[in-house]
A and B are shown apart, each in its own frame.
Chain A
Amino acid sequence: MNGAPYGRWLPWNASEHGGQIDSLIDVIHWFMLILFVGWGIFFVYCLVRFRQKPGRNAAYELPKGAASKYAEVGVAIFEGFLLFGLSVPLWSRYKTAPPPPEKRMDVTAIGEQFAWNFHYPGKDGKYGRLDPTLISSSNLLGLDKDGDPAAEDDIVSPELHVPLNQDVYVRIRSKDVIHSFAIPAMRVKQDAVPGMEVPVWFKPTRSSDEFREAMAREYSLDQPTPLFNKKKAGLILMEDYPASGEPVAHKGDALVNATVEKLLAAGIKTVRAAPRATMEVVCAQLCGMNHYSMKAPLFVDTPEQFEAWKTAQSAEIEIDLE
């Protein structure tokens, strides 16, 4: 794969099962194209050849040809193949055999107007109790930290972090209306229906770093306004600047105005930067007025990055408790 992860056709696929979905989509589209072009040639031929001309009459009966029968039967057979050869096996393989608990990373995704929150069971591997009556703006999920010991080490995060090359098992829930948990880069989509808990699973096979490297571009700092006006902002530096000597800004620093000022002061006019979040969990089901803004960054971490993130989250929990 080359080019940019996102373009005008399928985005890069970053999951194990996604490749098969992509090939199915490809096969169907080739099939559609062939049918369309085949029909089209015949049709255009007729449009030109059989236009009204003086002295020529239309044919009352066509010679009996079986071509259309063959075409129709051919279409039916090929559709049967798409269905029983590709789609059904793919769906059942992907949907019926969840990865075994000991091999997978567990997390619950809970949708609300207009955010995703992710609940990790923590070191003990047990989810703490969620109690709707405890919900408040500081305890978004109503996690029962005082009443349930299993809740003590749970992590609740607005970002989804998953380890590279390990199965991820996500339970999808909603607090209020119907949302849809969708990760275009992972070819994952599952509605979050209140009152139901439905799992999805996938295995990330490409890291955020790989995406970020492909998405990195040169940004000119001279005219920063349009860049930073964008709500998408959230760019980070891909290198230390300046390259030699004492850096004024480090790889991974957010490209906020303060950083830009430092860089400009050091005489640096262009930098290579990329979005911090290169994949997103979005909401694919209309859920109210800010539906469009309901998204969470997804990070596919290397094992070290993932451990580091968890440790940092636990540290925050400690602070919370004090």
Chain B
Amino acid sequence: MSTHAAAQAHAGHDQHGSGHDHHAHSSWWRTYVFSTDHKTIGIQYTITALCFLAFGFGLMLIMRWQLAYPSDPIPLIGGLLGKSLVESGVLTGQGYNALGAMHGTIMVFMAIVPLAVGGFGNYVVPLMVGAQDMAFPRLNMASYWVFLPGGLIMLASFFMPGGPAASGWTSYPPLSNIATMGQTAWLIGMIFLITSSLLGSVNFIVTIVQLRAPGLSMFRLPFFVWAQFVTAFLLLLAFPPLEAAGVLQLMDRVAGTSFFMPQGLVVSQKLHEAVGGGSPLLWQHLFWFLAHPEVYVLILPALGIVSEVIAANTRKPLWGYKSLVYAALFLGFMSFIVWAHHMFMTGMGTTLSTFFQITTMIISIPSVIVLTALIISYHGASIRYSVPMLFATAFLPMFAIGGLTGLPLGLTASDIHLHDTYYVIGHFHYVVAPGTIFAMFAGIYHWFPKVTGRMMNRTLGLIHFWFSFIFINGVFMPMFFMGMAGALRRQYDPEAQLHAETVQGLSRMVSYSAWCLAAVQIPFVINFFRSIWSGQPASQNPWQATTLEWAAPSPPPHGNFAQVPTVHCGPYEYSVPGERRDFCPQFEAREA
């Protein structure tokens, strides 16, 4: 297949590759279920990931009950949850940990990454580079069909004896090694999810390198494509160590090895039978070697989306496009050498910790550059406050809060007090929730007309935006104060510790905000489905934007473009002086 795709790439794009021909007379199954079309796969990923996102959010809504009203029975659904989670309607400690671990796992590996890469990446990247499909369409299909079982295995673990994994999304051994069967399911699920990402990442890299339309040099690529490009490399290089680590932990659990089990463990006053000789910290190194790059996998596509939306709605070129690209490349590179800043409290000496502090401070510089460039892009603009633009605009200050609060965590001395407190939870959620998720919403509102041929409703969009903006800050802002006061993360009983009692009021406020945040997603859901069927019809280029996806009909047919576009200029030629209109699409030759 690969030779075929490469041949197709070399042959140019003027004809529809013969590999797709069977689609013309293919069955419903081949068109909608086992499709190799990047758009169908993108939509499959998006819908699946949005469902997982809602589910992961739901788990947190249950946990927030326990955190607001410790040990009160959960109203409405308390009786419906299984024995592994609740006892007489009250969430148990084990149940709390299980929900927490699954919340993190689902959000990171089954919601955000699949949405950002599998969904947006798959749908938009081939369009933006002017390709008819991904380089390896069947590999692409395989990636989704490995992802889905991985996700289903994770969900199935809720029905296992002892419930699902409960050792955090980080699954530190020995705790995870001695945990109930759900942990085995977690590991198997993770192996599927990782495999799926690896298949996807190869595909993105080849597509971006090989399948660009004539005239589309690397430095004419929209920033979104660059972001996906760097992301694909991160996935490709960072996931294998975690996959290996996952297999090792699986062996520890089922085959009696002890890669992560040291000598002489005594569990519940009984000598543990593990042979010993392993190192629990080895897991942490392998895990964070993935998981730090992973956080950039979560944020880079978001930055990409926000950049596209900002360029189209400020009606001017992104400020410092090249510095954005270099910053993304540098971020990608640096993200491989900061991982141990998650492990400062494991007993690190000055030399090692100094190294990781330096790299962590260095990595914050490109983040500052990206943010500065995007903010300066508003200067001299003619800002059109569309709904996607509002989400993109709100993204910037909230991402800034996320990035800034990384500083005290990246310095060992201040991390002593803040590590493993709610401050950390506030920090990374500002990056991934008010950050990435807002960017995802911006992307959905922005590309919805391309995907469905219809516009989303603006009024519902405004309601969705403003209330989400208020409540999401209500959820995460108090966490900094709680963490500062010393309140620890992963606490089933928020009042168990002296220093946490004084912030219980804030904790309750977080819960209220979270429930309200859930409620204000209803306008979005209504808007989403109603617009699919009865939204106002969208033209080919409703935002009057410049990048190649707007050269395709809305929605694009199989094969994407009626005629393969030729690229004439850079990605963001807005408000070019002397031009008739305030945008010059990449796919249109300019009058001399």
Contact = CB atoms under 8 A, between A and B. Distances in A.
Contacts of A43: 375, 378, 396-397
Interface string A1-41: 00010111111000000001110110011011001100110
Contacts of B264: 132, 195
A119 interface: no
A52 to B, nearest CB: 5
Contacts of B265: 175-176, 194
A184 B371 CA distance: 34
Contacts of A235: none
A95 B349 contact: yes
B333 to A, nearest CB: 17
A195 B280 contact: yes
Contact of A47 (B276, B319, B378, B417): B378
Nearest to A286: B490
Interface string B150-194: 000000000000000011100011110010000000000000000
A40 B375 CA distance: 9
Interface string B176-218: 0010000000000000000000000000000000000000000
A182 B488 contact: yes
A96 B349 contact: yes
Interface stretch (B381-389, B434-442, B545-553): B381-389
Contacts of A94: 413
Interface in B484-520: 484-486, 488, 490-493, 495-499, 501-503, 506
B346 A195 contact: no
B357 A83 contact: yes
B498 A60 contact: no
Nearest to B481: A8
Interface stretch (B7-15, B34-42, B112-120, B571-579): B571-579
Contacts of A103: none
A50 B397 CA distance: 18
Given A196-B347, A291-B491, A9 B485 contact: yes
A39 B398 CA distance: 12
B80 interface: no
A195 B276 CA distance: 9
A317 interface: no
Contact of B417 (A178, A189, A290): A189
A135 to B, nearest CB: 5
Contact of A39 (B373, B375, B493, B574): B375
B316 A59 contact: yes
A101 interface: no
A60 B575 contact: yes
A176 to B, nearest CB: 5
A46 B577 contact: no
Nearest to B351: A92
Q: Which of A10, A96, A184 has the most CB of B within 10 A?
A: A184
A292 B417 contact: no
A150 interface: no
B267 interface: yes
A25 B401 CA distance: 16
Contact of B408 (A28, A185, A194): A28
Nearest to A280: B498
A58 B488 contact: no
Interface in B412-434: 412-414, 416-421
B264 to A, nearest CB: 5
B485 A87 contact: no
B589 interface: no
B279 interface: yes
Interface stretch (A68-76, A153-161, A220-228, A245-253): A68-76
Contacts, number: 297
Contacts of B417: 10, 21-22, 25, 184, 187, 189
Interface string A251-280: 000000000000000000000000101111
Contacts of B372: 39, 68, 71-72
B79 interface: no
A282 B400 CA distance: 32
A232 B167 CA distance: 26
Given A175-B265, A195-B279, A280-B498, A88 B316 contact: no
Interface in A103-135: 112-113, 132-133, 135
Contacts of B347: 190-191, 193, 196, 198
Contact of B412 (A53, A91, A195, A291): A91
Contacts of A82: 361, 407, 411
B405 A289 contact: no
Q: Which of A52, A58, A82 has the most CB of B within 10 A?
A: A58
Nearest to B578: A60
Contacts of B506: 8
B82 interface: no
A92 B353 CA distance: 10
Nearest to A13: B417
A193 B280 contact: yes
Contacts of A278: 498
Contacts of B574: 58, 60
Nearest to A35: B404
B237 interface: no
B97 interface: yes
A158 to B, nearest CB: 15
A41 B486 CA distance: 31
17 contacts: A9-B481, A21-B416, A28-B411, A43-B375, A57-B315, A58-B315, A58-B316, A82-B411, A83-B357, A92-B350, A184-B486, A184-B499, A189-B420, A190-B347, A289-B166, A290-B93, A291-B97
Q: Which 4 A-B pairs have the closest CB atoms?
A: A195-B262, A184-B486, A59-B380, A198-B347
